[in-house]
Amino acid sequence: MISRRGFLAGTAGVAMAGFAGIRISLAATFESMDIFIPGSPGGGWDLTGRVIDEVMKKNGLIGNSRITNAGGAGGTIGLPQFINQYDGEADALFVAGAIMVGTTITNNTPVDLTMLKPVARLTGEYQVLVVPSASPVQNLTDFVALLKKDPRSVTWAGGAPGGTDHIFACMIAKAAGVALGDLSYVAYTGGGGEAMASLLGNQVSCGISGYGEFAEQIKAGNLRAIAISAPERVSGIEVPTLVEQGVDVTISNWRGVFGAPNIGDDEVKALIDLTTTMVQTRDWKDQLATRGWSDQFLPGAEFAAYLEKDTIATRSVLVDLGLAK
């Protein structure tokens, strides 16, 4: 028995991965899985966690599941809850991403992602800058002109201070020659749903998030995407980059999953095998294409090495922007 709550030993056979002609070996299946999301419903982590749950169930990788949302403070409220409640539990996954690297540094929290077991980096997503459809701002040139004219009048809806959204806003302001002290950034720490409501209600000038969180409202014409943070155009997303519009700013937001503290090496491997199988399914690949997520899968030790480098790089950026010491 690997899991305290019901791990089914490795199967000798193979399972269909949601599409004909492709067969993927399963290292193991889980009778149950807890998916812990340190954000409120409607945000990027919530969407990621629910897609993981859907794909795993559809492909028979997990049986029963429970999704727990604990939003606030860029994930730094949910993180200690997960650490305390799931210590030693081998059938639990914690959804996180680049935002939490920044918020733990900015807030100098007593706990951080190094206390968890890195299972896999799954996706990467570029940030998009949007305005409500009623906004007079039609493109990035209009936006930068307005920002330079009266920076305090431009209100930005985004995630927690120190997170990817906040860093992206600061980078745009800095590139435009606007003092960061004049930035009117409204942090919605509970999740993307609150930021979306403020945008659709015309309560803020603009919003920043991963493209997937805004995609439906952009397609519906309720939001206008004026720039994306990719170095070059992203296939399937008809949004111009900042670079091509004369603003040299790029940034990417990764998302991944972690195991609980104090689980054994064999238990970590079982979770790695589980996610490795998931990302090979047609259902997962279809979700990537539909939501504009790029495949940035890194398992186990590779993810841990990446996380260490990303933490150093993020701290450097935050110090440069005056958001950390």
One domain, residues 11 and 116: yes
pLDDT at 24: 45
What's the pLDDT tens digit per position in 108-121?
A: 999 999 999 999 99
Instruction: Return the CATH number at 201.
Output: 3.40.190.10
Residue 271 pLDDT greater than 80, yes or no: yes
Q: Does residue 2 belong to any structural domain of this protein?
A: no
One domain, residues 184 and 230: yes
What Rg, from alpha-carbon coordinates, does the chain have?
Answer: 20
Indicate the burial class of 34 (C-beta count within 10 angstroms; 0-12, 13-18, 19 or more).
buried
One domain, residues 160 and 92: no
The answer for residues whose C-beta is within 8 angstroms of residue 298's C-beta and 6 or more apart is: 120, 121, 256, 306
One domain, residues 85 and 12: yes
pLDDT at 292: 80
Tokens matching residue 274: 């589980």
What's the pLDDT tens digit per position in 297-322?
A: 999 999 999 999 999 989 998 998 88
One domain, residues 112 and 163: no
Last residue of a domain, one of 185, 219, 245: 245
pLDDT at 192: 61
Asked if residue 36 lies in contact with residue 96, where contact means CB atoms within 8 angstroms, the answer is: no
Query: Which pTM was predicted?
Result: 0.79
pLDDT at 321: 86
What's the pLDDT tens digit per position in 69-96?
A: 999 888 999 999 999 999 999 999 999 9
Tokens matching residue 2: 């690997």
pLDDT at 7: 35
Tokens matching residue 190: 């509970």
Mean pLDDT, all residues of the chain: 89
One domain, residues 210 and 233: yes
Residue 61 pLDDT greater than 80, yes or no: yes
d(CA 287, CA 53) in angstroms, rounded, equals 12
One domain, residues 83 and 168: no
CA distances (Å), origin 292, targets 126, 233, 285? 9, 12, 11
One domain, residues 112 and 140: no
pLDDT at 15: 36
The answer for residues whose C-beta is within 8 angstroms of residue 132's C-beta and 6 or more apart is: 199, 200, 202, 222, 223, 224
Last residue of a domain, one of 245, 277, 303: 245
Share of the chain above pLDDT 90, in %: 75
What does residue 95 show for φ and ψ, rounded to 5 degrees? -90, 130
One domain, residues 262 and 234: no
Per mean pLDDT, which of 185-194, 266-275, 312-321 is the most reliable?
266-275
What's the pLDDT tens digit per position in 206-264?
A: 999 988 889 999 999 999 999 999 999 988 899 999 999 999 999 989 999 999 999 99
What is the domain extent for residue 66?
Answer: 7-123+255-320
One domain, residues 264 and 289: yes
pLDDT at 44: 86
pLDDT at 190: 57
d(CA 101, CA 292) in angstroms, rounded, equals 22
Last residue of a domain, one of 219, 245, 271: 245
One domain, residues 230 and 268: no
pLDDT grade, residue 2 (50/70/90)?
Answer: very low
Residue 203 pLDDT greater than 60, yes or no: yes
One domain, residues 13 and 30: yes
Asked if residue 61 lies in contact with residue 29, where contact means CB atoms within 8 angstroms, the answer is: yes
Q: How many domains does the chain have?
A: 2
Q: Does residue 281 belong to any structural domain of this protein?
A: yes
Indicate the burial class of 36 (C-beta count within 10 angstroms; 0-12, 13-18, 19 or more).
buried
Instruction: Return the CATH number at 282.
Output: 3.40.190.150
